[in-house]
Amino acid sequence: MPKVSPGLYIHVPFCRSKCPYCAFYSIPSPSLIPIWLDGLKKEISLYSGQFDPFDSLYVGGGTPTFLGAGVLADLMKHLFTHFEFAPDTEVTVEANPCDLTDEKTETLRGLGVNRVNVGVQSFDDGVLTFLGRRHSVQDVNGALNRLRRFGFENVGIDLIYGFKKQGLKGWLNTLDSALSFHPEHISCYQLTFEKKTVFRRLRDKGQIEPLIESEEAAYFLTASQHLEINGYIHYEISNFAKDEACRSRHNQKYWRHIPTLGLGPSAHSFYGKKRCWNVRSIKKYHAAVEKGRPPVEGCEDLTEEQLWLETLSLGLRTSAGIDLGIVSRIPQSYAVLSSLQASGLVKVIDGRIIPTREGFLVADQLPVCFFEGV
Amino acid sequence: MQNIRNFSIIAHIDHGKSTLADRLIQATGLVEERDFRDQILDTMDIERERGITIKSQAITLPYVNRKGQSFELNLIDTPGHVDFSYEVSRALASCEGVLLLVDAAQGVEAQTMANLYAAMEHDLEIIPVINKIDLPSADIDRVKEQVEVDLGLDSDLAILCSAKEGIGIEDVLEAITDQIPPPSAVSEGPLEALIFDAHYDPFRGTIVSCRLFSGSVRSGDIIRLMYNGATYKVEEVGVFRLEREPKNRLSAGEVGYIISGIKTVSNTRIGDTITLDHDPAPAPLPGFKEVKPVVFASVYPVASDDYRSLVDALDKYKLNDAALVFQKDSSAALGLGFRCGFLGLLHLEIVQERLEREFDQSIIMTSPTVQYRFTLTNGEQVTVDNPVYYPDPVTIEQAFEPYIRASILMPERYMGAVMELCLERRGVNSQFNYPTPGRIEIQFDLPLAEVVYDFYDNLKTVTQGYGSFDYDLLDHRESDLVKLDILLNGEKVDALAQIVHREGARPRALQACKRLKEEIPRHLFKIAIQGAIGGTIIARSTITPFRKDVTAKCYGGDITRKRKLLEKQKKGKKRMKMVGSVSIPQSAFVAVLKSDIG
């Protein structure tokens, strides 16, 4: 392991409006920002001094750029004074295209943010409207150009795909538009119908027709092939990096069982063998930290079996795959591996099981193959 | 003896047998209101859930009639399925009379008839009871006419009641004391006690339920089981109230229990006669028959580590079910297990369900088969009840399969459909009787193999529930048999092989391929399912692989949710058996035999 420094995540649970497909915790109430910030500072003091220097900081949400420049500055400064960070720390902030004004972009730059991940979603105005996004393609172009102009050398673009309204051709156009900005990182997320979202309700009522399996596969393969042809590395099912150095250092920690501390309502933390998650409500969150208690809703100590399960399932979603040793205890692993190899779903290279592009397509089923039916 | 009445209640399913039994128990004050629960005699979960009675139960009810005379009423509850018809016959042999229950709305049905014949065979006093008279759809006059015409009983004697509402219960009790004769038994003779059931009690060993026809027995006596001559010292005798109630002695005419250090119920035989060792009866009571298994299937633990635990479970199960036989077995696909013999399909299902529920076993049961006989070219005779041991086809001179004489009773209008079903199942030698106008009894010689799986279900379907079915084993007859192999991705799965009649091989193979395609979940790779005789493929189907299955993001660190999903899948897979790289659900091993109607 070359790097085992922990990562720090900050959850900003605010958005201008709730997107109809999003299940993450966020609310459109700017009036709660002061309570949240106050709570966050108190939570920070609970953990201050207890961690090795972090080498990744990820401010996500919600929409971090929904915060005013002053709040952002207050937050970042507070973090940098109360926690230790390695000199080359990756500092990512998620951004909404219409929030990236000259002023805010400059603020971010000035606060030491060195990676901005832009919630572009699509380069098609019709699709953006369908997705309930408030920005336009024009806003996107402006934001991406502005980031470069202010000197950001590590820019990520988030895209959503896989619905009838988009069309395969439209998806390919969006990918090409994204490529034209030469972003360091592209995330392609398939539209999923999460519980308690507007889209889920619409789908259940038959008002949104989901893709069939072979169509989903076509969208996925299109992205994978097209971006790889253009030099990107498909290093995790949803993630593409321009080169090795451009991978998201922070997100990889989640897949590699590296400890991460998550602060803010609904944030998750992992301490090597234990996972904890915070309460989702800002009020409960604040009430807890006010009394000097961690705002934790639940914790679980992972058994060896659970760790194994996670290693297997998270690893098989990445291009690094998993060590052969991880499945060697399964009596029929040889037979399973042979079938998977013969079907072109995995390759075995240097003692590791590596999913192929077709393997990525069924990455959630791959671990299941290794479960003992015995 | 004059104040004893031994009786049973017989009825078509759902005509209210258990409810009437409940009311009789309540009316005689044997159980306090607060201790009462429905279906009080059905003690097993599975009996209560399925609404069927599996084991016979007896209970002695104290009753003082309207004239002020005291009685002991012995109610013997009987199982209600063709698999257990022998047990039923022994229970009826212990009675002098029966209550024949008829639903006031449904009227006389198939099983009402079959039950009537069984009671008549034992020369029992039959009291017709018309139940559910409170129903708005009750048509008492029509049902009375059926009792008169279809059953040939005096409808004036029919008692009207509603067990549910507690109407007419006293009339039923009075009729039992008035109409059913007291037992005609010989108090002075040597002991003759008919075993009609046996239960296992973890503290007392086997508790034998019996009816004394002659003599008496008390604790300290040395008894002898006439079937095998084994002797035991009696520890306790008594009668069944809701709990066992010890008595000084049991006398001729009574129904009760004997505890005598018999370890397992397998040491007893239902229908056997108990006598005293020093003064034995000259001959056993008539009607004894050793119950032999007719259906065979293998049982394997889903996880091979659980073999020991399965051994224990079967040993314990066997304590209370003498009819189950088993011996060690092993399969290339499924590992170590047991070959088991059952009385019939319901018995098989009950064993499977009880092993899973009461003994917490996760098991795979292979498709049931019958016992075949082969004469080999070298003159040797072999018996095969497991397709794995099917002889090399070139060495087979002659093959034989067991036949039964099936007797099906139904309203005339279903005759065509039933004929068709029986002919389809290779029935021969048909015969027709008209026991009563409008009803017909068809008899057929049928290969047992054609009946074991779903014949009874199909019969119920084609007769809309009006057909009743009973059978006797006949003999083994020459037959043209082949072994049908099932291959998954080119690999033979021994536990899926079947022995079938050559003419039925292709339909069977197609059916098996179809069922497996439904039962086996999609995998990441294509699964070819083939049915083959020798090297010839006669049926095939394919399970297409997953094309795409990856969604949920793993970002923001919420790994827990995703892992919980996997843990669920993992648990599901624990109930599957891996054969090569293919996971086969438990249910698939039995489902291969299921046909389309059932």
Tens of pLDDT, residues B216-260:
999 999 999 998 899 999 999 999 887 889 999 999 999 999 999
Of A213, A270, A275, nearest to B547 by CB-CB distance is A213
Q: Which chain A positions have a beta carbon within 8 Å of B557's beta carbon?
A: 9, 254, 260, 262, 267-270
pLDDT confidence of residue A44: 96
Dump pLDDT digits (tens) for B350-385: 898 889 888 889 888 888 889 999 999 999 999 998
* pLDDT band per the 50, 70, 90 thresholds, residue B269: confident
Q: How many angstroms separate the CA atoms of B22 and B30, rounded? A: 10
* pLDDT band per the 50, 70, 90 thresholds, residue B598: very low
* H/E run at residue B359: none
- B568, closest residue in chain A (CA to CA): A368
Of A9, A260, A340, nearest to B524 by CB-CB distance is A340
Decide: helix, strand or coil at residue B72.
Answer: strand
* pLDDT band per the 50, 70, 90 thresholds, residue B597: very low
Whether the predicted pLDDT of A52 surpasses 90: yes
Sign of CA dihedral B50, B54, B55, B58: positive
Dump pLDDT digits (tens) for B286-344: 888 777 788 899 999 887 788 999 998 998 888 778 788 899 988 877 889 999 999 88
Please name the residue that has the structure tokens 């291009």: A319
Burial class (CB in 10 A: 0-12, 13-18, 19+), A201: middle
Instruction: Evaluate whether B208 touches B198 at the Cβ level (below 8 Å).
Output: yes
Q: Which chain A positions have a beta carbon within 8 Å of B302's beta carbon?
A: 373-374
Whether the predicted pLDDT of B595 surpasses 70: no
Q: How many angstroms separate the CA atoms of A302 and A305, rounded? A: 8
Decide: helix, strand or coil at residue B173.
Answer: helix
The mean pLDDT value for A57-67 works out to: 93
- B570, closest residue in chain A (CA to CA): A371
Whether the predicted pLDDT of B166 surpasses 70: yes
The answer to whether B549 contacts A362, with C-beta atoms less than 8 Å apart, is yes
One-letter amino acid identity for A292?
Answer: G
Between B348 and B96, whose confidence is greater? B96
pLDDT confidence of residue A329: 80
Percent of chain B with pLDDT over 70: 92
pLDDT confidence of residue A261: 96
* pLDDT band per the 50, 70, 90 thresholds, residue A374: very low
Whether the predicted pLDDT of A143 surpasses 60: yes
Contacting A with CB below 8 Å, chain B residues are: 302-305, 523-526, 545-560, 562-563, 566-567, 569-570, 573-574, 576-578, 580-581, 583-584
pLDDT confidence of residue A346: 95
Query: Please, what is the average pLDDT of chain A?
Result: 93
The mean pLDDT value for B207-215 works out to: 93
The mean pLDDT value for B172-179 works out to: 95
The mean pLDDT value for B555-578 works out to: 80
**Which 8-state DSSP code applies to residue A370?**
T
The answer to whether B574 contacts A373, with C-beta atoms less than 8 Å apart, is yes
pLDDT confidence of residue B547: 84
The answer to whether B546 contacts A365, with C-beta atoms less than 8 Å apart, is yes
Percent of chain A with pLDDT over 70: 98
Q: How far is A35 from chain B (nearest CA, A)?
A: 22
pLDDT confidence of residue B48: 56
Whether the predicted pLDDT of B554 surpasses 60: no
**What is the ipTM for the molecules in this complex?**
0.86
Cα Rg of chain B (Å, integer): 27
Query: Please, what is the average pLDDT of chain B?
Result: 87
pLDDT confidence of residue B46: 59
Whether the predicted pLDDT of A113 surpasses 90: yes
Q: Which chain B positions have a beta carbon within 8 Å of A189's beta carbon?
A: 553
- A305, closest residue in chain B (CA to CA): B567
pLDDT confidence of residue B398: 95
Dump pLDDT digits (tens) for B28-57: 877 665 566 666 666 556 565 555 555 567
pLDDT confidence of residue A249: 96
Chain B touched by A367 (CB under 8 Å): yes
The torsion defined by the Cα of A96, A101, A107 and A108, in degrees rounded to 10, comes to 30
User: CA-CA distances (angstroms) from residue A90 to A215, A250, B392?
Assistant: 36, 8, 72
Biggest alpha carbon–alpha carbon distance for chain A: 62
Residues forming beta bridges with residue A94, ordered by sequence position:
A117
Q: How many angstroms separate the CA atoms of B360 and B371, rounded? A: 30
- B302, closest residue in chain A (CA to CA): A374
Dump pLDDT digits (tens) for A155-205: 999 999 999 999 999 999 999 999 999 999 999 999 988 888 999 999 999
Instruction: Evaluate whether B8 touches B76 at the Cβ level (below 8 Å).
Output: yes
pLDDT confidence of residue B22: 86
Residues for chain B: how many in total?
A: 598
Whether the predicted pLDDT of A332 surpasses 90: no
The answer to whether A255 contacts B524, with C-beta atoms less than 8 Å apart, is no
Instruction: Dig out the tokens for A115 from the structure.
Output: 């990676």
Please name the residue that has the structure tokens 């990455």: A363
The answer to whether A367 contacts B566, with C-beta atoms less than 8 Å apart, is yes
